Structure 1
């Protein structure tokens, strides 16, 4: 009886608390309302900067027409490149002097934040920096409503999942080559197929280096990837929206669902290269890049150094990453000197 009396007395308060809790769950776990910046997991993952233009000095990518070329995405709020990212960009530019290398920032960039990054432009005139507003960038695409409803905010890994979605959106819009900002390019990609990705291992196709051309094969894969993101996006699984997308798409279109058997022959013209092309060191052994020694595989097209797992390791003299940087991004290596991390 006592409990019933208490419930009756405070039923309005209980109802209000219930509605608040229920609303928070709906907002956090669904696309019910857009862009709740105040709901974030930590300050590093707060990407409200994606929706401001304060002090931005970069031209807008929405106003451009890109030929098939190389794209990088920087999706944090720092508005510039750190030493490893700048190394990746320089290495791509040196290997492809006749291709434009486009770095797309989702945050405003200032003269100060770009200061060291712009050293790249002094000797390498094929590097371009652009700003994209994620909502504007997705307009007119199948992901317009998905992005506008704030889906990219409802994830534990906002920076990484924004990059995951935007790489597929960029390849859908323009075609070309996408590279992660932790890939040191060692060989020109001209000789590779028009449409390709590479296996990370025998179970998964990776998304750190991909090419979708504007031909029928490339358009088919790009559209399938966008549809997969709309249907299967998850903010609670690390690799679900990056390598998960291309792996799921290829398992559906290839004649064999066995990742190790995927190739242009089995995947309707879409080539799937082996790990040795871009991932000669698996992520579980990524520390190898930062310890003194040499790599056993020296013929890769690029070296993905797994920055998510290695970002806190310093680059020491005589390590494989130190050797790669000296050879493939000498400007950055010189500019950053002892600050090269």
Structure 2
């Protein structure tokens, strides 16, 4: 019994020792494998995009022993060990076409400057941004029609189209721009709002940033610019939703038109570059600054000229301004038939075939008509439609009408 117990103890000790040695041996082998695996993984990522030559197995060569230091041997991945990297499919991508564009001249730097009191001005503000970016001109057929009609009927006046947002025009391919370029008296120009306002009574106010809190930013930028333009240059200001029907050169040096018996409008105006006109333009800028309202659409446009006219004419009555021109001391106020013979509530009459005769009769004595783009811009009008507007466009902006295509 004593011999068997001692043997049992020795056997147990031997078993424990064998287990310990076996565990150490296994853990040491695991460490070696993990290092090699990490090395291969690292090397694989470094060499997966190398040439085919690097992916082949090199032939074994015998090297003679020399005293020279051994060159580092490049490691290669054996294809059997490393999984091949799948090739990514090649997709054909369309290259973006570069549109050939010409930068617009800055109205303040261009050689051909507006002649004081002898120019017609349009403003385009729909691309306006606080931080200027490269933008291409965008004109609708109706906007192009307004510009062409002014140039057609006033060949001795320069027609300036000032873009507050667009900086470039397409050098070829735009049919509307091609149509307008056939007139020698049309000038397409860029303006920087801050530089344009420099030296005017509203320069400091503009830098304060109130304008950019507007619910109607583009219309209110347009309101601001029309009064700055009249202050700087004088001359005619026209909205881009008009059609000029007659020559404007013989019209008074200072005028606007009444929209109704309650207010004046600012879509068609003229002010002289000096004297009364310059004084009125200055008063308009100061009134805009003092009464600016970011939440009311018409407060900073029609509202401005209405308030200034009331002071100039010493009356709140639009009717008295129209019927007794002496009250306004050289400032002419036209009745609504001159520019707004079709009231904004009746704007559809320009586009409805059954209203063509009555509409043409009502505007027969108007030098300029206003088609109320705020409401009419979404009306899809075909060039073949027989209505008052297409009839007027064929006659007063023929090149634009021909370039417009199916819709106008």
TM range (shorter): 0.7 to 0.9
Residue number among 249, 270, 273 corresponding to 2:334 in the alignment: 273
- Paired with 1:311 and 1:121, the residues of 2 have a C-alpha distance of 21
Shift in Å at residue 151 of structure 1?
A: 2.5
Correspondence for 1:101: 159
Aligned to 1:46: none
| Superposition CA RMSD, Å | 1.6
1:334 deviation in Å?
Answer: 0.3
SS in 2 for 1:217: helix
Q: Which of 372, 387, 398 pairs up with 1:319?
A: 387
Superposed CA deviations along residues 304-331 of structure 1, whole A, max 9, x for unmatched, are 0000011111224111111111110000
1:58-207 to structure 2, matched below 5 A, reads 58-64=104-110, 65-67=113-115, 68=117, 69-77=119-127, 79-112=137-170, 115-207=174-266
Whether contact under 8 Å (1:57, 1:108) holds in the other structure is: no
Corresponding residue of 2:92:
none
Say whether the 8 Å CA contact 1:134–1:147 is kept in structure 2. no
Secondary structure of the residue that 1:211 maps to in structure 2? strand
Structure 1 stretches of at least 4 aligned residues deviating more than 6 Å after TM superposition: none
Could you tell me which of 209, 218, 221 is aligned with 2:268? 209
State how far apart, in whole Å, the 2-side matches of 1:126 and 1:314 are.
30
Cα separation, 1, equivalents of 2:210 and 2:306: 22
- 1:109, distance to aligned residue in structure 2 (A): 3.4
- Alpha-carbon distance in 1 for matches of 2:175, 2:235: 27
Q: Among residues 331, 337, 351, which one is paired with 1:290 in the alignment?
A: 351
> More displaced, 121-130 or 321-330?
121-130
1:244 matches 2:294: no
Could you state the TM-score of these two structures normalised by the residue count of structure 2? 0.68
1:336 maps to what in 2? 404
Separation of aligned partners in 1, 2:321 and 2:171: 42
Correspondence for 1:57: 103
Shift of 1:159: 0.9
The 1-side partners of 2:331 and 2:376 are apart by 31
Aligned position for 1:235: 294
Higher relative contact order, chain-length normalized (CA < 8 Å, sep 6+): 1
Measured against aligned partners, the alpha-carbon deviations of 1:252-289 in whole angstroms (never above 9, x if no partner) come to 12132201111431111100011111111010110111
Q: Could you tell me the TM-score, scaled by structure 1's length?
A: 0.80
Structure 1 spans left out of the alignment, 5+ residues: 1-54
Aligned partner of 2:13 in structure 1 is none
Given the superposition, is the C-alpha separation of residues 215 and 145 from structure 1 closer, same or farther in structure 2, using an over 3 Å criterion?
closer
Q: Unmatched 5+ residue regions in structure 2? A: 1-100, 128-135
Q: Is the 8 A contact 2:380 2:407 kept in 1?
A: no
